[in-house]
Structure 1
Amino acid sequence: MRRMTATFYLLLISELCSLKTAFSEFHFISEKKTYEEAKDYCQTIHTDLATINNMTEMNDLTAFVPNSTIRSWIGLELGNVSRWHWAWSTQNLDFLNWRVGEPKDLGEDSCAAIDPQGEWFESECDTERSFVCQGNSDVPNDYIFVADTKSWRDAQKHCRDLALDLVSVGSAEENKEVRNLSTDQNVWIGLFRDAWKWSDGSQSSFRYWKPQQPNYGNQHCVAAVFKDDGKWNNLNCGSQHSFICQGPSKVSSNTSTTATTPSNNTTNTGDVSASTTQGETFNTTQFSNVTPTGSDFPLTSGNLTLIRENMTWIESLNYCRERHMDLVYVAGQSTQDRVAHMAQHATSSHIWLGLRYTCNFDLWFWSASSTDCYQNWSPGQGPGEHSNECGITGAMVATGGHKWVGLPETQRLNFICQEDCSRI
C-alpha cells in the first residue's frame, strides 16, 4: 500500500510541485499518558482525540508524526453495543437485505456476505471467500469482482491496495448488480459489525487494524502503530503512550498565565498548545504568553514574523498555528528574498521553514499547501538526494546564500511564522 500511495503522491507532486496536506486539525502530543488522561487533555485543550475518517487522513497523519514515534493513542475505544457499519465511511446504513433469521450475533466482530440469491448473511470474518471491490461509493456500477478467496480483512486490504474498498450496497438495484457479479458464490461485501466507537461521538466506520487485531480481554483502547505504517492495535487503556488530538486550540494566546522562557532542558509535550503535570489542571503553554524582550523581540515584516526563540520543528509549527499562522512557506524568489533578509537577524545559524521530509513516501512537503514549485536547496540537499533521512525537516541558512538544508527535527532553531501563505 505504501508503494502505491507514494506513487500517487509523486504523480501529484509532478503536477503541482507540492503536496496539499490535510492534517492541520491534528496535533501530535509526545508526552506519554494513559488513554483517559490523553482524552481529557485533548477535550480540554483542543476538541478530542483524533477521529480518522479515511485512508487519506491516515496517510496524512502517518506522514505528519515525528519519524521516531512508535505508537500513539487515537480516539477509538470499545463501547457497549455492537453495530453494523459499511467499510465506506460515507455510506449510510439505509438499505438492508438480510436472509430470514439473519443476522445471528456471532460474536465481538463479524462480517457480512451476499449469497447467489442476493440475500445477506452474517459470517465469521476469518472465513475465506471471493469478494467485490468498489472504486467510489458515490459512482454507480464501479465494481470489481475478485475470484481469489480471502478473509474479510485480507479482502479489504486487497481492495485498499488498489485504492478501492469492499463494496457498499445502498439500494435494491445495487444489490442486484453485486449479486450478478458473484455468479453462484457467496462473496464478501463491505458490511461489518463491531462495538468500537469514537471518543468524539462521530460515526466514522473507517478501521485500519494490524493483522490479528483487534484482540479482546482488557484491551479497550486503540493506538496507531507508526512503525507498521500507522496500522491500529488495541491496548490496555492504562498503558502510557503519546497521542493525537484534533481540532483548534481552546487556549487563547491572550490568556493571562505565568510564562517561562523555553530552554534546552525544558520538558516538551510535543504540542505547544498546553502543558500539564499529572494531577494538575491544564494551563496555557509556556510559549503562549511570552512577552519577548531584548534580542528575543519578534521581527515583523508584512505577514512574516521572525521568532528569535530556539524551538524544535514541531514546537515551531505549533507555536505558529496557535497564533493562526503557519511556518513560513517560500513560494518564489520574492518570498525567498524577504525571508533571507529576516534570517540575517536570527540568533541561530539556521531558521526553520515549513518543510518536512517523510521517509514513508520519500518526499518533501510544505506544512502549508500551495501549487508553486520554487526551490533553493544547497547542493546535495533536497528531493532525490541520499542525504535525506527519517526525522529531518527544512531549514534556511541564516547567512551567506540562504540556501535550504535538511536538519534533525529535534534541533532547536529560530523560525519564521506567516499569517497567510496565499498573500505572500
Structure 2
Amino acid sequence: MQWELFLLTLFAQPSLIVCHLYEYHCINEEKNWTEAQQYCKEKHTDLATVSNMADMKRLLNNSAGNMTEAWIGLYDQTDGIRTWYWSLPGVEFNEKSKTTEKFYLIKEKKTWLEAQSYCREKHKDLISGMKQLEDFLPVDENVFIGLYRDTWKWSDGSSFSFRHWNLQFDDENYNSGQCAMTVFDDGGRWKNDNCSIRKPFICYDDKVILIKENKTWEDALYYCRDHYHDLVTITNLDEQRWIQEKAKKASTDHVWMGLRYACTLDLWFWVNDKVVRYKNWASGEPVDDCDMSGAMETGGGHRWKKMNDLKEFNFLCSKP
C-alpha cells in the first residue's frame, strides 16, 4: 500500500521544469583537442557528444559570444577499422525492427552527403535499417541509402552514429590524426582539422550515471535519492537512446529504472511524477502483478522488462 499512497502524493505535485539528460557548455578558451578533452573530463564529463539533430540545435542555441567554430568529442582513430552505421540515429547496423515511417523517392541526382542533408532538411533522414529497406527500396533503380562506414569515434566511448559533416567532407581521404569541430556560421556543420590546432571547445555534463552495484529496486531507489537525485526516467526515444548507451556497460543483464507498477491502481508510473507515455516494452511480457518494477535490457534491443522488485541488478541514477 505504501507505493500506492506515494503515487497519489506524486500526482498532486505540479511539474513545470523541462530538463535534459545532459547539458552543453561552450568554453571560449583556445586549446588543442587533447587539452580540451582533458579540461572537459576534469571540470565536466567529457568533450561534447552529439547524438542527433536536436543536440545540434541545442549547440547552436548555446554558442558563446563570438565563437565561430569549436572542438567536439569526435576524433578519427589512428589506423582505425571502418565500422558500418546507419545514418538515422538509433538504428543498429544489424537491427530489424518494426517501422511506421513514410518513404519518399527523390528523383534528383546528388552526392551521398547532399542526399543526406536534403532528407534531414525536408523529411527525417536517408532510408535506414533492414526493415525500412524491405518495406520500400525500389528494385529497378540505383539509389542512395543511409548506410556508411567510418573510423571516427566519440571521446566518451559511446557508439552514436550521428554525423553532421559539411558537404565538402571526404571520408575517403586519410584522416588519421584529425578531430572534428562544429562551425557555427555553417549551420553547425562539422569540419575535420589537425588535432594540434588550438580552438574553443564544447564540453558536456552527463545527468545519468550507471551504478555497478547489485541492489533490489527499492534499495536502488533510495541509493539514487541519497547520493544523486532519483532513479532514471525515460520520456521519449532520444532519452531511451542516451540511457541505453550507459546500460551497455552494466555488469548485469538488466538495469533498474524509476518505473514502478501500482498494484491497487493497476497502472505503471515513473517515480519522479512523469506520466508513462513513451514505452519500450519487450514483446511477450508477463501480465502485470504486484511487487513489479521496470528494468531495461543491457543488450539486444534494450527493451523494458517487468521484473520482481526483489531481484538485484545494476541501476541508473539521474543527477540534479
TM-score by length of 1: 0.41
Q: Mark the CA change 1:200 to 1:248 in structure 2 (over 3 Å): closer, same or farther.
A: closer
Letter in 2 for 1:193: R
**What do the CA deviations read for 1:219-253 (whole angstroms, capped 9, x no partner)?**
5101101121111010110000111111159xxxx
Letter in 1 for 2:151: A
Q: Is the 8 A contact 1:220 1:235 kept in 2?
A: yes
Displacement of 1:203 in angstroms is 0.7
Q: Is the 8 A contact 1:210 1:231 kept in 2?
A: yes
Name the counterpart of 1:232. 190
The equivalent position to 1:41 in structure 2, one of 31, 39, 42, is: 39
Secondary structure of 1:73's aligned partner: strand
Name the counterpart of 1:140. 100
Name the counterpart of 1:223. 181
Name the counterpart of 1:210. 166
Q: Is 1:186 aligned to 2:142, yes or no?
A: yes
Displacement of 1:153 in angstroms is 0.7
Letter in 1 for 2:81: V
RMSD (Å), alpha carbons? 2.7
Secondary structure of 2:151's aligned partner: strand
Map 1:210-359; keep pairs closer than 5 Å: 210-214=166-170, 216=174, 220-247=178-205
Name the counterpart of 1:82. 82
The equivalent position to 1:61 in structure 2, one of 25, 39, 59, is: 59
Instruction: Give the whole-Å Cα distance in 1 for the aligned partners of 2:163 and 2:195.
Output: 18
Which 5+ residue runs of structure 1 have no aligned equivalent?
Answer: 1-17, 97-136, 250-323, 325-419
Q: Is 1:157 aligned to 2:81, yes or no?
A: no
Name the counterpart of 1:129. none
Q: Which has the higher contact order (CA 8 A, sep 6+)?
A: 2
Instruction: Give the whole-Å Cα distance in 2 for the aligned partners of 1:23 and 1:59.
Output: 15
Q: Mark the CA change 1:206 to 1:138 in structure 2 (over 3 Å): closer, same or farther.
A: farther
Name the counterpart of 2:27. 29
Displacement of 1:43 in angstroms is 1.2
Q: Is 1:167 aligned to 2:127, yes or no?
A: yes
Q: Mark the CA change 1:204 to 1:238 in structure 2 (over 3 Å): closer, same or farther.
A: same
Secondary structure of 2:58's aligned partner: helix
Name the counterpart of 2:238. none
Q: Which moved more, 1:48-57 or 1:141-150?
A: 141-150
**What do the CA deviations read for 1:172-198 (whole angstroms, capped 9, x no partner)?**
xx433223xx24111111110111110
Letter in 2 for 1:209: W
Instruction: Give the whole-Å Cα distance in 2 for the aligned partners of 1:145 and 1:25.
Output: 37
**What do the CA deviations read for 1:293-342 (whole angstroms, capped 9, x no partner)?**
xxxxxxxxxxxxxxxxxxxxxxxxxxxxxxx9xxxxxxxxxxxxxxxxxx
Displacement of 1:87 in angstroms is 0.5
Q: Which moved more, 1:207-216 or 1:192-201?
A: 207-216
Identity of aligned residues (%): 37
Name the counterpart of 1:177. 135
Q: Is the 8 A contact 2:76 2:176 kept in 1?
A: no
Instruction: Give the whole-Å Cα distance in 1 for the aligned partners of 2:17 and 2:186.
Output: 23
Q: Mark the CA change 1:149 to 1:213 in structure 2 (over 3 Å): closer, same or farther.
A: same
Instruction: Give the whole-Å Cα distance in 1 for the aligned partners of 2:83 and 2:185.
Output: 30
Displacement of 1:206 in angstroms is 0.7
Q: Is the 8 A contact 1:141 1:177 kept in 2?
A: no
Instruction: Give the whole-Å Cα distance in 2 for the aligned partners of 1:70 and 1:20.
Output: 28
Displacement of 1:138 in angstroms is 6.5
Name the counterpart of 1:111. none
Secondary structure of 1:66's aligned partner: coil
Displacement of 1:95 in angstroms is 4.8
Which 5+ residue runs of structure 2 have no aligned equivalent?
Answer: 1-15, 208-228, 230-319
Q: Mark the CA change 1:208 to 1:23 in structure 2 (over 3 Å): closer, same or farther.
A: farther
Q: Mark the CA change 1:138 to 1:156 in structure 2 (over 3 Å): closer, same or farther.
A: farther
Letter in 1 for 2:187: D
Q: Is the 8 A contact 1:156 1:165 kept in 2?
A: yes
TM-score by length of 2: 0.54
Q: Is the 8 A contact 1:73 1:241 kept in 2?
A: yes
Instruction: Give the whole-Å Cα distance in 2 for the aligned partners of 1:141 and 1:223.
Output: 32
Q: Mark the CA change 1:225 to 1:204 in structure 2 (over 3 Å): closer, same or farther.
A: same
Q: Is the 8 A contact 2:28 2:64 kept in 1?
A: no
Letter in 2 for 1:199: S
Q: Mark the CA change 1:186 to 1:237 in structure 2 (over 3 Å): closer, same or farther.
A: same
